[in-house]
Chain A
Amino acid sequence: MRRLTRRIGADLVIAGVLAAVGLAMAVQAISYRIIAQGGIGPGFMPFVAGLALAGFSGWVGVESIVRSRRGRRSAEAPEDASSAEQRPAEDRPTGGERRVTLVFALVLGAILATSVVGFLVAFGLLIFILLALVEREPLWLAAVITVTAVVVSYLVFVQMLQVPLPGGVLGLLGE
């Protein structure tokens, strides 16, 4: 029940954010002119899309509230095995949210480090940290995979496909 409530709460928050974005876009679109020279103006499409986003997000919110009421009613009945099986995947505990946050943070760190050490070195470090520290792979394996990935990426993208990957302030493995 707590998980269901949490999910409905999350649905409401997401729907609220989307509705706010939609409304903001629609309001801003008015300044771009919805009608221009007797036809539709540059603000028309964003105005319609923004309103549609707000409207459909509102619908999602209403659905969540309806589901919440139904959930409260059914919570009084004991949960059987089949209903537990049918429970959506996101309601089940994954236990990996911290890991996901950590990986996202490390990717962010790698992107920020690109301006200093260059793309391939920054992402090479990211691969090594992910393998050695997050996944607890043996250090030698992490090192081999990292070096191979960086060398192959350099040969394929920089040398073969001429992708000018940033070399950072240090100008490493890129421009």
Chain B
Amino acid sequence: MDGVFDNVLLGFQTAFSPANLLYCFGGVVLGTFIGMLPGLGSATGVALLLPLTLTLDPISALIMLAGIYYGCQYGASISSILIATPGDSASVVTAFDGYPLARTGRAGQALATSVIASFVAGTITIIPLMTLAPIFSGLALNFGPPEMFALMVLGMASVVGFGGGTSQAKGLAMAAFGVAISTVGIDAQTGIARYTFGQVQLLDGIGFLGVVIGLFAVAEVMAQVGRGGAEPIRTRMRDMLMSRRDLREISGPTARGGVVGFLVGMLPGAGATLASFFAYDIERRVSKKPERFGKGALPGVAGPEAANNAAANAAFVPTLTLGIPGSGTTAVLLGAFIIFGLQPGPLFLREQPELAWGLMASFYLGNLLLLAMNLPLAPVLGSLLRIRYSLLYPLILLVALIGAYAMQNRMWGVWLGLAFGVIGYVMHKYGYPAAPLILGLILGSLMEKTLTQTSDMGGGDLTIFFNRPIALLLFALALVLLLAPYLVKAVRRMRPAPTSTPPDGPADDAASARSGDEEMTTLSRREDG
């Protein structure tokens, strides 16, 4: 334990040096602005700014890149809440309730909730990251390919559960569509080109960023344009303060989101996106008023925000101790380590204590700087909503499509953004949820990889799943999530019909929950007047 304490002390000494403080600050500021730009998520932000750090010493460079990572997480939440265009896939869920809150004049509270939940979870989970990393990485190592596959199936079932209110079939179809899209391009295992039709652009597959920008940014803009004449939202400063009741309301979701985020985030490949979806689903299920979700519930912002920041910390567990990136952004960061001649792995903490512990200590510093920067700025950022949408949307289109271009520096991303903008608009109009498609696309290739590995483990026999209790448990949970709406409906039908329904009775709740689900799944099917 003394060893850990000494290392933590060494880490803080390293992180708090004036030069590293400056780089950390520069990183979080740049990260916040990049994160706010739709489509330019943390992975893109870190990748874009990586060349700027090549002249620095490794520890300063990695502290700055980690600052960009954290800043992006905070910035992405701001754009999710204010304009419903997530800057990062991990902030997609934040828009579900953050944007409705903003539309009802509670942008400041949504932003404050996001900042507080992110800070609390991001700060507290540094403790397990620092003290329990070796133990936790040992546990994560027990998750073999069958368990990882089952975990991803559970993640998909959880997201499809969002669509239960309107049509679970539509949610499942979209999830399958996402997985199907993820199979386009060269198969990583065999090198076979699938569904490329001789087009060079398709060899790399259908880029996640172009799809996200199309489905969220472009489709959302078009939906707003279609409605026309939306009144600008006016938010008073006094409305932006968090009451004690609000703080009490978000404390539980923050704690739960932090735990879920850390546990999911440290599994290699699972990442902050899955963690945020899990956290949202948990909050909706434990809430006494699930009908509020999708219409503007603070716990719907607090849970996912806590989860994605905790997951960002946790993603460093496999990255630093196993050399396996825990998320897309840590994959880019792993590339940065290698550029600097460093090889994260089981011996990394022992061989590079100053760097490893200094980096972890800088997470605390970065979160603190982001709290100090974002809380006072919440009213300023909230005032962005006063700009008329007719003036704003051409600019959103410009930034979103530049983001689509910047991912691979080619027009193919822009074409994808436009094509999926049209698809997303149609989906939006006819109640097809975008979230399952996105998760299917994100997880599809990883699912295929783990399924192939599972098949190899079983010598081609997939019944190996039956010998893996954890995987079976995860599959059973996924099944329960999918069947739960039907079971609830069946139980409700079996009950004798009440002669009169109280205003807050279960029937009303169910109806409201259905409409809440509908709002949530289409992300932005909102009426302005």
Contacts and interface: CB of A to CB of B under 8 A. Distances in A.
Interface string B425-441: 11001111000000000
Interface in A39-80: 39-46, 49-50, 52-53, 55-57, 59-60, 63
Contact of B411 (A40, A162, A166): A166
Nearest to B454: A40
Contacts of A50: 180
Interface string B186-206: 010110101100000000000
B430 to A, nearest CB: 6
B253 to A, nearest CB: 28
B415 interface: yes
Interface in B158-191: 167, 169-170, 172-173, 176-177, 179-180, 182-183, 187, 189-190
Nearest to A52: B176
Given A95-B228, A114-B411, A165-B405, A49 B183 contact: yes
Contacts of B429: 90
Contact of A10 (B227, B401, B430, B518): B430
B369 interface: no
Interface in B362-407: 390-391, 393-395, 397-399, 401-402, 405-406
Contacts of B456: 39
* Chain B contact residues, majority secondary structure: helix
Interface string B495-529: 00000000000000000000100100000011100
Interface of A (DSSP majority class): helix
Given A96-B227, A99-B226, A126-B394, A44 B49 contact: no
Contacts of B192: 32, 42
Contact of B177 (A53, A161, A162): A53
Given A45-B448, A55-B176, A60-B167, 16 more contacts: A29-B194, A38-B459, A42-B187, A50-B180, A53-B176, A60-B170, A63-B169, A94-B227, A95-B228, A100-B226, A111-B411, A114-B411, A126-B397, A135-B391, A145-B391, A157-B406
Interface of B: 48-49, 51, 167, 169-170, 172-173, 176-177, 179-180, 182-183, 187, 189-190, 192, 194-195, 218, 221-222, 225-228, 390-391, 393-395, 397-399, 401-402, 405-406, 409, 411, 414-415, 418, 421-422, 425-426, 429-432, 444, 447-448, 451-452, 455-456, 459-460, 462, 515, 518, 525-527
21 contacts: A7-B430, A32-B192, A40-B451, A42-B187, A42-B189, A44-B451, A45-B179, A56-B170, A56-B176, A60-B173, A89-B527, A96-B227, A96-B228, A97-B226, A100-B226, A104-B418, A107-B397, A111-B414, A123-B397, A161-B49, A161-B406
